[in-house]
């Protein structure tokens, strides 16, 4: 039964003309992913955004046979699957309207645990850029051992970030623009193998998908959506790292960049991001830790949580307080929404009211915590 359901989840991603956003709307309208394949063309054509032409595509395509092939590959290679309504689907991606319907991963990694930092940059990394990357990751590991490094397995800054994360003992996730039956570039396979025990390769693409250029642009949005903070280490005036930063801003992520000399080719993109207020200037991990409020608490000093009763709180607000008390360092809005089973719009309104009452405070990165 579980495999039967997975067949439909994979199958809908194969229907031409239906992207992630429209697919989600279609599933919500019909009521289930299985229902999409059982509806008549007449019924489908009346659904907003589908129409006559697309409804013909849905009923005429034989995508389920290909989906069954993919299930065989998944089972044989012990691939983990994540459907966008699953509880273990990355909660950071759930708030992104164009997030993938399905994700596939190979490795050993909780996609929701820890502080996720996306590190991106040019493929033509300089030695100075690589050193900045390595030092940043080692310093993050020392201050926050639960940091997860997310990057794209490409040459240059990407592979430097993955290798440094491994050396620092951090979990690292490589988001790739192809199926998990291959790795591009192949030269990075040894690093990918080392990532498996404490990390993962992650993709939205089925096996047999080639590493086509457009896939890597799509891959960048997953890096951005997965991350709490995004760091651009080095970039020319144009490049994939700048696309990731742009998407990160659209997703309301905190974006950072290392500055460089005005005449450095591989710092032009970083300097432009900073100049146009699309990234905050950083010189070290301390800047990120401070901005994100991830600074390590003094050893032996327990956080003091206000224990007085808030007499003017409603039952729902008391429930929010009880949940927040479980997170001494605060909790991100998306995760809190999942914990409380509340829509983000309603929860945001309640948290704002509680801020006015002096009960909670909002930290950078949409992190909320009890006022001490």
Same domain, 71 and 131: no
pLDDT in tens, 291-333: 998 876 444 444 444 444 445 788 888 889 888 888 877 888 8
- 7-22: burial string, b at 16+ Cβ within 10 Å, e else: bbbbbbbbbeebebeb
Same domain, 112 and 71: no
d(CA 158, CA 160): 5
Q: Give domain status of residue 83, yes or no.
A: no
d(CA 162, CA 133): 10
Check whether 371 has a pLDDT greater than 70.
Answer: yes
Q: Give domain status of residue 349, yes or no.
A: yes
d(CA 146, CA 134): 17
d(CA 92, CA 113): 11
pLDDT in tens, 117-155: 999 999 999 999 999 999 999 999 999 999 999 999 999
CATH code where residue 40 lies: 1.10.150.20
CATH code where residue 360 lies: 1.10.10.10
**239: region left, alpha or beta (phi > 0 left; psi from -120 to 50 alpha):** left
Number of domains in the chain: 3
Its pTM stands at 0.81
DSSP structure string for 214-267? HHHHHHHHHHHHH-SEEEE----SSSHHHHHHHHHHHTT-EEEE----TT-GGG
Average pLDDT, the chain: 89
Q: Give domain status of residue 300, yes or no.
A: no
Average pLDDT over residues 226-243: 95
pLDDT in tens, 50-65: 888 888 878 876 788 8
Q: What pLDDT sits at residue 224?
A: 96
Domain range holding 359?
315-370
């Amino acid at each position: 039964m579980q495999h039967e359901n997975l067949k439909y989840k994979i199958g809908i991603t194969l229907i031409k003309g239906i992207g992630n956003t429209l697919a989600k709307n279609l599933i919500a309208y019909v009521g289930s992913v299985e229902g999409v394949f059982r509806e008549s063309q007449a019924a489908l054509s009346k659904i907003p955004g589908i129409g006559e032409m697309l409804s013909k595509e849905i009923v005429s395509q034989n995508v389920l046979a290909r989906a069954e092939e993919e299930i065989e590959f998944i089972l044989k290679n012990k691939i983990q699957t994540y459907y966008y309504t699953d509880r273990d689907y990355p909660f950071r991606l759930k708030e992104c309207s164009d997030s993938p319907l399905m994700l596939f991963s190979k490795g050993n990694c909780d996609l929701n645990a820890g502080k996720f930092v996306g590190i991106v940059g040019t493929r033509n990394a300089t030695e100075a850029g690589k050193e900045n990357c390595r030092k940043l990751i080692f310093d993050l590991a020392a201050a926050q051992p639960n940091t997860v490094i997310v990057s794209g397995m490409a040459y240059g800054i990407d592979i430097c970030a993955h290798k440094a994360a491994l050396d620092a003992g951090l979990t690292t996730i490589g988001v790739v623009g192809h199926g998990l039956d291959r790795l591009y570039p192949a030269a990075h396979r040894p690093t990918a193998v080392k990532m498996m025990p404490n990390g993962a390769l992650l993709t939205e693409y089925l096996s047999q998908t080639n590493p086509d250029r457009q896939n890597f642009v799509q891959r960048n949005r997953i890096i951005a959506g997965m991350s709490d903070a995004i760091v651009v280490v080095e970039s020319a005036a144009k490049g994939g790292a700048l696309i990731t930063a742009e998407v990160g801003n659209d997703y309301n992520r905190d974006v950072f960049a290392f500055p460089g000399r005005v005449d450095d080719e591989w710092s032009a993109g970083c300097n432009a991001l900073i100049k146009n207020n699309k990234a905050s200037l950083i010189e070290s991990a301390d800047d990120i830790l401070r901005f994100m409020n991830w600074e390590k608490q003094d050893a032996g000093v327990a956080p003091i949580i206000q224990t007085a009763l808030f007499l003017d709180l409603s039952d729902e607000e008391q429930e929010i307080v009880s949940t927040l008390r479980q997170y001494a360092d605060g909790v991100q809005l998306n995760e809190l929404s999942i914990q409380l089973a509340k829509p983000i719009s309603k929860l945001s309104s309640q948290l704002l009211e509680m801020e006015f009452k002096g009960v909670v405070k909002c930290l950078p990165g949409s992190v909320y915590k009890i006022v001490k």
